[in-house]
Copies of this chain bind each other. A is one copy, B any other.
Amino acid sequence: MKENTKTALVVSAHSADFVWRAGGAIALHAQQGYDVHIVCLSFGERGESAKLWRLGNMTEAKVKAARREEAEAAAGALGAAAVEFFDIGDYPMRTDKETLFRLADVFRRVQPEFVLSHSLKDPYNYDHPLATHLTQEARIIAQAEGYKPGETVVGAPPVYCFEPHQPEQCEWRPDVLLDITDVWDKKYAAIQCMAGQEHLWEYYTRVALQRGVQAKRNVGITSKRNIVYGEGYQSLFPRVTENLG
């Protein structure tokens, strides 16, 4: 990683989540000069690859390969610095200390300015909150002087939960609306890499438009900012600032 480059970390339970839910943030910060590092804990091979399985004559290895290809293409379209696959399996996802330390080591290496992961609850998908809790705990491990003493510990990067599929049922509530209008074309290009989930393309386009309208409303009708597309985030820690304006 280049000296003085700002960085960010995105932890995605399945290999497509980062596209639908955080593609705008990735593209926007990449455009601002951040090295955005993506970790996909699984390929979503069991739970989010229905279309591939229905093709018939399919194996888990083939599904994973197809999903990897899609995810790499999408990460490229977004301008991410790197995408890494932990391949720990999905439906159900399970984590152990080894996975935890592996992710803590990513925190140490990347030293992110901010972190994105899933919502804290999701009754439709148990892998999602598991990914968030793994991320939170890995961040804590990476902050501890006693873990691999001598290495540079991480600071206290803010953690944001990106939007789940059914926000109200997940008790997710956005307190940050990110204006992604400038990079929408990149996000939509990344979305189109997800050939196996075409039914979601328009769904997430509408999500972006709705969050854009809400962002516009929250800056006020008199504002000159021309916001069309947005992404919602819920922050898990208080932000520290010197200005409330």
Contact = CB atoms under 8 A, between A and B. Distances in A.
Interface string A149-167: 1001111111010000111
A240 B126 CA distance: 22
B176 A146 contact: no
A203 interface: yes
B28 A221 contact: no
Given A203-B210, A219-B155, A245-B113, A146 B8 contact: no
A110 B165 CA distance: 27
A168 B166 contact: no
Contacts of A173: 168-169, 171
Contacts of A160: 244
Interface residues of A, number: 93
A144 interface: yes
B220 A179 contact: no
Contact of A238 (B54, B209, B214, B222): B214
B238 A169 contact: yes
A177 B237 CA distance: 10
4 smallest beta-carbon distances between A and B, as pairs:
A155-B220, A46-B146, A156-B220, A113-B245
25 contacts: A29-B244, A46-B146, A47-B140, A53-B146, A91-B141, A92-B141, A114-B244, A126-B140, A152-B222, A154-B220, A155-B220, A155-B221, A156-B219, A156-B221, A167-B167, A167-B168, A168-B172, A168-B173, A168-B232, A169-B237, A175-B175, A176-B244, A203-B209, A206-B209, A218-B238
